[in-house]
Amino acid sequence: MSKITVVGSFSMDLTVTMSQFPKEGQTIIGKKMLKNPGGKGANQCIAAARLGGDVEMIGMVGNDENGRIIKDLFVSEGVNIDHVLTTDKEPTTIALIEIDDTAQNKIVVVPAANFVYSVEDLHAVKDVIANTEMVVAQLEMRLDVMEELAELCRQFNVPMILNPAPAVPLSDGLLSKVTYLTPNETELSVLTGHPVSTLDEIKEAAQMLLDRGVKHVIATLGDKGALMADASGMEVVSGYSVKAIDTVAAGDSFNGALAKALVDGATLKEAIGLANAVGAITVTRHGAIPSLPTKEEVETFIQNQKIQ
């Protein structure tokens, strides 16, 4: 059994770069179009694998060319896909991504095969969940599947990282079963209904989630790092200042790295420090999976930062 099991989404990303986003009703000329495998779950899985993680992916693709391309990629990356299902009911999920010159992005995901994956499909791999060391999940699959996954993690005493993206309100029942919740600032606001324009407000929002039963809240703050919050207190773990060109998969790479470091026995602060470095490298490159760094690249980056 793999040490890290990612239960989550696949997509084929169609990315268009442009100087600025079009206004409503406006047509503009773009710069470049890229087609690459992605999806939050897939990104997180390969992020952990490239850092040397022993990783398995659970999810669903369509019976089409995009699904075959994705599965071939995972095999080449050394990820176990024995429990990746293929459906004839829907095509592989597509994500439409716009990126402007400031590296900001706008994304639309058409769920397709990701939403065909059911609670019954999840129950068929209960033994995989029971025997892994860490489960990583997101919200690009059906919410009932994520709720059942959290319950299985509770039953089997397996720690769960939940990246609450795309953000939707979550029940206390689900939150109370999450070991590590990793929202960005926008997601933190959606989950709590609380403003997050200052660090004090971010800390207040994190405390609201702790009060609802989350064991650890790790709020990602871009180049400012990440807020680590749990019953013992709160601390900002410093990030890295880099020139971002594409922020797609920054959070996903953070979550993959966090999982890898934690199963390796790092403290939470150490794991967040590594994840901050991986996220910083990711935003300096185009694409989702193509931007994810290897273990050697991360070690070189951290060493160079120390020299500077």
Cβ-defined contacts of 229-237 (< 8 Å, 24+): 229/203, 230/268, 234/203, 234/206, 234/207, 235/269, 236/199, 237/269, 237/272, 237/273, 237/276
| CA-based nearest residue to 214, from 250, 256, 170, 260 | 170
The domains located in the chain, with CATH, are 4-20+32-307 (3.40.1190.20)
Q: Is this prediction's pTM over 0.85?
A: yes
**Do residues 124 and 140 make contact, with C-beta atoms less than 8 angstroms apart?**
no
Instruction: Measure the CA–CA gap between 308 and 304, rounded to whole angstroms.
Output: 6
More reliable by pLDDT, 307 or 46: 46
How far apart CA 272 and CA 249 sit, in angstroms, is 16
- pLDDT per position as a tens digit, 71-129: 999 999 999 999 999 999 999 999 999 999 998 889 899 999 999 999 999 999 999 99
Contact 56, 5 (CB under 8 A): yes
201 alpha-carbon distance from chain centroid: 24
Output the pLDDT for position 215: 98
pLDDT at 2: 84
Least confident of 42-56, 173-187, 203-217, 240-254: 240-254
Q: Active-site positions?
A: 252
Q: Which residues pair with 95 in a beta bridge?
A: 13, 109
